[in-house]
Amino acid sequence: MHLIQVINPNTSIDITEIINQTANNLKSDYIDISVISPTKGGVPSIEGNFDVAIANIGVLDQVKIGELQGVQGHVIACFSDPGLLAAREIAVKPVIGMAEAAMHIATLLATKFSIITTLPRTLMITKQLLQQYGLIHHCSAIHNVDFSVLELVSKQEQAKEKIIECCIESKMKDGIGAIILGCAAMSNLAPLLMQELRIPVIDGISAAINIVELLIKSGLSTSKYGDLDFPSKKTLSGIFQYLN
């Protein structure tokens, strides 16, 4: 039995709960999954660079704790992949972000995909990630449903309708073969949308958990040689002392 921890980088219990539902479907005899969120505070949702900067710290803390507790892998369950490379530096076990997982898997299923996100300003981060991972030419369009992350929870039904509508339009117009759900709070909609649209609809949390499982089975993990080696020994001070 191998334990994967899925880190919700924001502090909203409702979103942790949605992630939990998604993760539960992937538990097996081989894999156990725990879903956690920052224990020392943070930001209730992540929709810009400031939010990402705050969320990074919670992710790093949880990765550090998880490593000490002996988890076998880490998933970052926010579509901004906050703290991804930093987490790889401090972990021996594999760390996978939900955005990178979804994007890589999508290119194996279709020549082009579109992404459905929340607010317009999240676009700059999504594009930056696509660029960094090298997959921007596989992305046909990024659509915003113009609901904030928290509104996906508070206005669940309207949001769901808007997402469905947006996916249908994307399927008709974007010249794509698959759709990526660009927010952890949308992850529970993937099965419904896939049934509705009859094309692959990819939830990055499931994708990331599956990739971590794949890596565990393969005996592969982050290279600790070179760029992603442990940070050189330095003492953190002040409010960061607990991260030493």
81 binding its own copies? (CB under 8 A): no
For strands 139-144 and 95-97, give the pairing: unpaired
70 binding its own copies? (CB under 8 A): no
In the chain, at which residue ranges do the beta strands (DSSP E only) sit?
Answer: 2-7, 31-36, 73-76, 95-97, 113-117, 139-144, 178-181, 201-203
Nearer to its own copies, 20 or 80 (CB): 80
Residue selected from 123, 141, 164, 168 as contacting its own copies according to rule CB under 8 A: 123
Q: Interface residues for its own copies in 97-116 (CB under 8 A)?
A: 100, 104-105, 107-112
3-state secondary structure of 180: strand
228 binding its own copies? (CB under 8 A): yes
Phi, psi of 139 (to 5 degrees): -95, 120
44 binding its own copies? (CB under 8 A): yes
Cα distances (angstroms) measured from residue 7 to each of 19, 221, 243: 9, 18, 17
Neighbouring CB atoms inside 10 A of 139's CB total 21
Shortest spacing between CB 221 and its own copies, in angstroms: 7
14 binding its own copies? (CB under 8 A): no
| Percentage helix, strand, coil for the chain under 3-state DSSP, each rounded to 5 | 50, 15, 35
126 binding its own copies? (CB under 8 A): no
21 binding its own copies? (CB under 8 A): no
Q: Interface residues for its own copies in 133-192 (CB under 8 A)?
A: 133-138, 148, 171, 175-178
Size of the site for its own copies (CB under 8 A): 92
